[in-house]
Amino acid sequence: MHNSTLELARELIARRSLTPDDAGCQEILIQRLEKLGFKIEKMRFGNVDNFWARRGTTAPLVCFAGHTDVVPTGPVENWHSDPFTPTLRDGMLFGRGAADMKTSLAAFITAIEAFVAEHPDHAGSIALLITSDEEGIALDGTVKVVEALQARGEKMDYCIVGEPTCVAKLGDTLKNGRRGSLSGKLTVKGVQGHIAYPHLARNPIHLAAPAIAELAAAQWDAGNEYFPPTTWQISNIHGGTGATNVIPGTVEILFNFRFSTASTVEGLKNRVHAILDKHDLEYELLWELSGKPFLTPKGDLVDALAAAISQVAGLETELSTSGGTSDGRFIADLCPQVVEFGPNNATIHKINECVALADIEPLKEIYRLTLVNLLT
């Protein structure tokens, strides 16, 4: 199973790059890219390492985006081998980051190397946007790089994010969008009192209950061709002093919308406030938008990647917008066509994370053929 993509993936997995520590992964990638004539810009914000690399000056610009950071391992004793010692076993490559997403990073590099060797004078440009802050709070990573690129008028035409997307077979799923995430911290106010004298108090849990029921039953939108309907879910409720004989003075409710392009942030906020006001609640509501939805309909990028998948994997990929958020939400502000494609996602963030050895070289080939389809 010796090949350059596998060897590079192993080299990256061996780096203990726990968020936001890059642990030298980016320097490994940069050294390979410099040999191909890429102009490298290291962009460090706070304690986060990022870089922007570009080869060429003309459009169209095809960008590969990803992250070198990984999540914590969990109990090391539960792993069958050391999580930062890349291990080949039972046809798999094991190690933290094997699937999410150091194999994709390795495949980016070797695909570009092969493409440039074949097409040294290719049309357009190739870029990479790499961060070490995707698995964390994501404040000083891709979002900051995108802001810097926007400030100087840089534009992308196409972006492939190397997140693991496949479910059963390599190539079966391509993500052409993601739902947005909008959270709220709702505090409903009442009057604290003795539980034996409810007429002297106002129970905020009781007051909030009808509004909660209405929010839970609401249909926020019907979704669309690419997205399921928007959902509203409570994640936490806290009220009371801990004593069983005290009516609480407040109740705190944490909730979240996972919303599609069929809704807007302002529209969702306005409907929530309307329901709360309808029930005459005294409340405070703090909002946090952690990601807007983005969507790339069928077009040049989807078609180019789907054709490459068909040629290499022999199957028709399925377009999906499922899952949580990714850095694609930031890149979509700069790039009109953003998709995610990478290896099987069954073991991401788990003990004994792994990727199939048989999928590594085909993944590189899919990325290479996508460049052929877009830049030749």
Catalytic residues: 69, 134
How far apart CA 226 and CA 218 sit, in angstroms, is 21
Structure tokens, 152: 């100087």
Q: What is the DSSP letter of 70?
A: B
Backbone torsions φ then ψ of 154, nearest 5 degrees:
-70, 145
| C-alpha 101: how far from chain center | 11
Backbone torsions φ then ψ of 13, nearest 5 degrees:
-60, -30
3-state DSSP assignment of residue 151: helix
Closest of 138, 175, 179, 143 to residue 293, by C-alpha: 179
| Omega before 20 within 30 of 0, i.e. cis | yes
Cβ–Cβ < 8 Å for 90, 154: no
3-state DSSP assignment of residue 342: coil
3-state DSSP assignment of residue 8: helix
In the chain, which ranges are E strands? 39-45, 48-55, 61-67, 87-89, 92-94, 125-131, 158-161, 173-175, 177-178, 180-189, 193-194, 231-239, 246-247, 250-259, 283-291, 294-295, 318-320, 338-340, 354-356
Backbone torsions φ then ψ of 261, nearest 5 degrees:
-70, -5
Angle (CA) 77-358-130 rounded to 5° is: 70
How far apart CA 353 and CA 73 sit, in angstroms, is 9
* DSSP string computed for 270-318: HHHHHHHHHTT--EEEEEEEEE--EE--SSHHHHHHHHHHHHHH-SPPE
Q: What is the DSSP letter of 229?
A: P
